Chains A and B, each alone.
Chain A
Amino acid sequence: MSASVTLERPPGAPAAIVGRPDAHRRGLARLGWGFTLPALIFVGLVTIFPIVFSIVMSLSNVGLSASGFALNGFTLHNYDELIHAGVWRYALGFTVGYTVITVMVELILGTAIALVLQRLTRGRGLMMALLLLPWSMITVISAELWGYIYEGTYGVLQAISGAIGLGRPVFLGTANGAIVSMMVADIWKTTPFVAIIVLAGLVMLPEDVYEAAEVDGASGWSTFWRITFPLLRPTLALAVLFRILQAFGLFDLPFVLTGGGPGTATTSLAVLGYKVMFEDLEFGPGAAVATSTALLVLIGCMAFLRVFRAQAGSEEAA
């Protein structure tokens, strides 16, 4: 950020100090927009236009027929219906609860893994490559894989729990079982992502504070809480916000692993939105689900930006 600031001349400063005529700067600015606009137009048409359209659609009576669809006047009916629908309230609660629990577990596990890898003198590169495997995996595939592992008759977890005397647990057949099973699958896939980010944060910490702690004879535990954790907090905060924003759009995993069931037990906001729009073909209410989800993400985004700005500010001060 700081480097970009130095590129821009303060508004009052005379051009002579910079040593370039104004015309040249204006030329460069025009060139900059010329280079940037193709990408911005592309992004704008494909993302911002649909977002606005979705908001309009959620506030309209949508008529859908073979010949096309029509927006028949303004209404708050879609949102009214949403707020009173038990299934939306459940999906909201589920998505929030699921996000909070998985992100917390991933943060703790990911930090633990990062602390282990930080101490490795050999094989760290190999472990990093290993961590990238679940990250780069198609979520549909990991969902199918865990579906096979959890399978009720021939799944490997049935065999293992039978062998250690735990009987035949039900994984995906009950609401709680399905929720916990899905969380485990999610934690397997995304903990490495958190671990890599935290490890990168750890590597950048100044080494001299550790040496001081070692001389003082501080234990590993107290060194972590009193030195590492406070220094690492900006990294952790950003990793958490990044994950929260991702987890809120949860779709692939429940869609493939549980289909949102049993019943609606694992129906996230995105799965609900998809089903309302493309299975029930209710585009108005579906747009309301989608828009409210986006609104919640936007609120998350604001929090993200606050942290980002605070960090950018402290970087500039440093």
Chain B
Amino acid sequence: MSAVIAARRRHGWRRYVNGLSLATLLTALFILLPLYWLLISSFKTPVNVGSSPPQYFPNPLSTANYTQAFVHYGFGTYFRNSVIVTVVATALVLVLGTLAGYGLGRLPMRGKSSVLLVLLMISVFPEIAVVSPLYLLMRDLGWLDSYQALIVPYTAFNLPFAIWILRNYLLGIPKEMEETGRLDGASPLRTLWSIILPQALPGLFTAAVFTFTACWTEFLMALTFNSSNNYRTIPVGIALFGSPNVVPYGTIFAASAVAVIPIGVLVFIFRKSVVSGLTSGAVKG
């Protein structure tokens, strides 16, 4: 045993330069290099964005692309639309998802495993299968180019996963908690709100981060339902920058940097929740 351990201990420079550290570095570069390219290209002058050979560091540094994105292309409107749609849909998912997750996780209902299986199947359904009937429906309702045209389908498509996540967390809370509430004479909703929910906070964070990310990045429905300039979200706005023949990469990357930052910060803060969501989504089913 001791021989095995001794062989593993490395000395001198080999403590830092070994297969493990090289592989880690390679992984980090694989992820970071394209992101580095996006960020520095956004700070090149619009002319230097198309220079050949390319500049590996912007010289001179310029914020012209940012001005172009916000002033000329009205990126501020797209950003505002994305925030409104994403925040409202996430809030709706959390409220409806918590109630349903509580019912399916902790209350004695017949047939709840069938309900959960149907939800699981809906959560992996391809968007393309529903986008045309939804488009026709929204057209008849006069909903095309409106916030609800995205808020309603985003809420519906993210609810199944959120219900699964919340149900898994709520299942893990001791059964005696409800008794406490009932002995105090609290209503079921009151018990859920003040006794059960505080214990399920990690699950709420996970559901929130996943829904937020999904809404923030969604493209197909946003493109189909809300293509007018006033209601475009960030992905649609960025995809439709410029003309068919000219792709204004500088502007695109300036807008992209602004779009990536909120989600990057959110994911960094809640990285534990995200990882637990990914794993309970995949490992527990």
Contacts and interface: CB of A to CB of B under 8 A. Distances in A.
Nearest to A253: B219
B129 A35 contact: no
B29 to A, nearest CB: 10
Contacts of B99: 35-36, 38-39
A47 interface: yes
Contacts of A128: 271, 275
Interface of A is mostly: helix
B128 A274 contact: yes
Contacts of B181: none
A50 B134 contact: yes
A304 B127 CA distance: 18
Interface in A254-307: 255-256, 269-270, 273-274, 277-278, 283, 286-287, 289-291, 293-294, 297-298, 300-301, 304-305
A133 B282 contact: no
Contact-size category for B: 35 or more
Contacts of A200: 275, 278-279, 282-283
- The residue in A28, A141, A155, A235 that gathers the most chain B C-beta atoms within 10 A of its C-beta is A141
B285 interface: yes
Interface residues of A, number: 113
Interface of B is mostly: helix
A136 B119 contact: no
B121 A125 contact: no
A53 B52 CA distance: 52
Interface stretch (A76-84, A146-154, A174-182, A221-229): A146-154
A47 B156 contact: yes
B159 interface: yes
B136 A283 contact: yes
A4 B1 CA distance: 44
Interface of B: 1, 4, 20, 23-24, 27-28, 30-32, 34-35, 37-38, 41, 50-54, 96-97, 99-100, 102-110, 112-113, 115, 117, 119-122, 124-137, 140, 152-153, 155-157, 159-160, 163, 171-172, 188, 213, 216-217, 219-220, 224, 234-236, 238-239, 247, 249, 252-253, 256, 259-260, 263-264, 266-268, 271, 274-275, 278-279, 281-283, 285
Interface of A: 3-4, 7-9, 25, 28-29, 31-36, 38-40, 42-43, 45-51, 53-54, 57, 68-69, 112-113, 116-117, 119-120, 123, 125, 127-142, 144-149, 153-156, 158-159, 162, 188, 192-193, 196-197, 200-201, 204, 214-215, 235, 238-239, 242, 245-246, 248-249, 251-252, 255-256, 269-270, 273-274, 277-278, 283, 286-287, 289-291, 293-294, 297-298, 300-301, 304-305, 308, 311-312
